[in-house]
Structure 1
Amino acid sequence: MRFVYFTIILYISCFFYSCNIFNRTPSFIEVSGFIQGTTYRVVAEHKDNVNLQKSIDSIFASFDSVFNNYVPYSLISRVNNNDSTVVIHDDFLYLLEKSRYFYEITDGAFDITMAPLANAWGFGYKNDTVLPDKQTIDSLLQFVGMEKIRIENNKIYKQKPHVAIIGNAIAKGYSTDVIAEFLLSHAITNFLVDVGGEMRVYGNNPQGKMWNVGINTPLEGTAYDEYSVIVSLENKSIATSGNYRKFYMKDGEKYAHTIHPKTGYPVSHNLLSASIITDKCIDADALATACMVVGLEKAIEIIDAHPQFQAVFYYYQQDSLYTYISKDLEQYIVHK
């Protein structure tokens, strides 16, 4: 299998002028590193009493010990391995509650219990190398669905041992929020937090303006710095999901990483990418995934029914690329 990993490309206006911008604006600093199989970057106003790099790395290390499916001793891995001694703490409970909320408002399109399906198709933490047949998919669907798990007295119970949770469609967004809340708790009110493309911005950029965020044109072979839409944000989060970079080819067929939890198969429709703008990045992350599952028409219905969410959708129609932008978001679009 040949994997092409999808990374959300975001354009930040304060970086466009020069790579030495921070020499001209010493009140801001940038720290970066690796987390959850991707990269992170934080741009924030400088506070002498906060060791930003050390603090953020410590937060991410703690986060990994809970939500990283690739770490055998993490809490989520212990749950999946049926460790009966696991006690669920508030962070994990919060993620489960958010997951259940988006499961309900999307009619099951967002589902963290789809780990068996993700693994079977080669997009999970236990990647198979053989394409699953219909019999395999049918056998795995019995383990999928948020109703298969429940919480009582801070312990998680699964209907069947093979029920498993995967956090890659919500954990990055949540970690973005955790870092943002840490900054706010230290009176840092101008910042950008970017975890693998999931972003939360607050206040102003180093130039004293709103943060400009660009969304990559969702076509195979598109340059990482090619943008069709740039949106100006303040005190908001944005997350994007799409199938144009994370897929593999096998026997001449393309298999995208977005799998429908109801059918068990990779989706096939004309929606190329979904970008969600809202207050919390955990919400944007989850809903962007759900929109890619249900396709354009249903995604628009979900957005229309929940005005706290705004969206930018790229889609194909009659061999041409089109953009759908939420009505209330139009005023913040600086380029399209």
Structure 2
Amino acid sequence: MNNELMAQRHVMTHHALGTRINLTIFGNEYFSLLKKSMDLIDHYEDQLTVNRDQSEVMSVNHGAGKMPKMVSQTTFDLIELAVKYSRENFGFNALIGPLVKLWKIGFEGARVPSDAEIKERLKLIDPYKVLLNRDTRTVLLEEPGMELDLGGIAKGYIADRIRDFWQEAGVPAGIIDLGGNLLFVGNSPRRDDGQWIIGVQDPQLHRGENLATVREPACSAVTSGIYERFLIKNGHRYHHLLDPRTGYPLETDLSSVTVFTDQSVMGEIEAKRLFFNGEPIEGWESRPGNRGAIFIHNDESMMNVGF
């Protein structure tokens, strides 16, 4: 254990991205980076949010069915990435906003819509109806009522950018916690081997109470789960993870999937890939950037992949 570095632990908390942000940095000379990092998070939120009327992503949404909108390179790159994986049709879909707003699970006015309403909304979530022009950095949603929502990958992307900022500054160790989306930087000062001990949330208990732990070098840990937001109607429980292929909550006996990856943005995508698949994918952990995954079923039985 690096006791000297442990004594130089600094933490800053902030509310952004609709969640509680906790940044931990080790090394007294890097303390000033915490405020700069929070400012950077706010900057990205200003560009990417759909929870305000004005942002670069909202300008694209306002132009749906009308005209292409120019965005910054950062926003364009993230939209391009989101659309690419949305077109793979495995469950991740950055156009799913109109369907989410129909169900409103986890929000006031949540209800079970009719089959006819769902079918109408499914027409608005087609990722092939997004026109991207890299030369002009413009984005056009072809149908009125279509909406982009990068909430499924924005936290991962932002966490990666904060890590890059810290690494360029020479930060020896740190933890980026964007509301449960975790990214570990450098070698852990708590252990002589430099590995981090990472808790895996128990879906049946409050946030922060773990069912398992994993020991890994610096990496990202992202969870996709159904245990925090749901609607109970006529004795049936509807969770918030909607399947863009059907318009209904995904039928699954999984409670959560936690993935460990090199890049946090890919952790967001891969967690949904495995969750929607419902079981491990052969060879998944050997793909570049993937470390391992933990599946937790509703009966709290676990399955480890890559560990």
Q: Could you state the TM-score of these two structures normalised by the residue count of structure 2?
A: 0.88
Q: CA 1:26 to 1:176, structure 2 compared with 1: closer, same or farther past 3 Å?
A: same
Q: What displacement does 1:70 show? A: 0.4
Query: 3-state DSSP class of the match of 1:175?
Result: helix
User: Displacement of 1:272 after TM fit?
Assistant: 1.2
Equivalent residue letter for 1:322: S
Number of the residue aligned with 1:89: 72
Residue 175 (structure 1) aligned with residue 158 (structure 2): yes
Note the 1:29-44 alignment, pairs <5 A: 29-44=10-25
Whether the 8 Å CA contact 1:119–1:127 is kept in 2: the answer is no
After superposition, the Cα gap between the structure-2 partners of 1:141 and 1:305, relative to the gap in structure 1 and judged at 3 Å, is farther
Deviates more, 1:131-140 or 1:90-99: 90-99
CA, structure 1 residues 55+130, in 2 after alignment: closer, same or farther (shift >3 Å)? Answer: same
Q: Mind listing any 5+ residue stretches in structure 1 that lack a counterpart?
A: 1-13, 15-21, 331-336
Q: RMSD of the alignment, in Å? A: 2.6
How many Å separate the matches in 1 of 2:148 and 2:126? 10
Residues 1:315 and 2:297 aligned together? yes
2:226 aligned residue: 243
What do residues 225-245 of structure 1 show as CA deviations (whole Å, max 9, x unaligned)?
432221112221110011112
Do residues 157 (structure 1) and 140 (structure 2) align?
yes
CA spacing shift, 1:250–1:41, aligned 2, 3 Å: same
Change (3 A) 1:100 1:127: farther
Q: Provide the C-alpha distance between the structure 1 equivalents of 2:10 and 2:276, rounded to a whole number of angstroms.
A: 38
Match for residue 173 of structure 2? 190
Which of 38, 41, 54 aligns to 1:73? It is: 54
CA contact (8 A) 1:203 1:210 kept: no
| 2:89 corresponds to 1:107 | yes
Q: Percent identity?
A: 21
Q: Distance in 2 between matches of 1:244 and 1:216?
A: 11
In structure 1, distance between residues paired with 2:105 and 2:69: 26
Deviation at 1:85, TM superposition (A): 7.2
Instruction: Using the TM superposition, give the Cα deviation of residue 141 of structure 1 relative to its aligned residue in structure 2, in angstroms.
Output: 0.7
Mind listing any 5+ residue stretches in structure 2 that lack a counterpart? none
Q: In the TM superposition, what is the alpha-carbon distance from 1:198 to its structure 2 partner?
A: 0.6
**Matches of 1:176 and 1:247, distance apart in 2:** 27
Bigger relative CO (Cα 8 Å, ≥ 6 apart): 1
Equivalent residues of 2:6, 2:26 under 8 A apart = no
Note the C-alpha offset of 1:192.
Answer: 1.0
TM-score normalised by length of structure 1? 0.81
For residue 300 of structure 1, what is the aligned residue in structure 2?
281
| Matching residue of 2:200 | 215
- Cα distance in 1, alignment partners of residues 18 and 222 from structure 2: 17
Q: Answer yes or no: is 1:265 the counterpart of 2:244.
A: no
Question: Aligned residues, how many?
Answer: 300
The counterpart of 1:324, out of the listed 290, 303, 307, is 303
Deviations along 1:144-173, one digit per CA (max 9) or x if unpaired, are 122110211211011212111112211111
State the distance in 1 between where 2:286 and 2:98 align.
31
Structure 2 equivalent of residue 116 of structure 1:
98
> Retained in 2: the 8 A contact 1:119–1:128?
no
**Which residue does the alignment assign to 1:18?**
none
Partner of 2:261: 278
Q: Is the 8 A contact 1:120 1:128 kept in 2?
A: no
Instruction: Give the superposition deviation at 1:290.
Output: 3.1
Code of the aligned partner of 1:276: V
Write the distance in 1 (CA, Å) between the matches of 2:110 and 2:148. 20
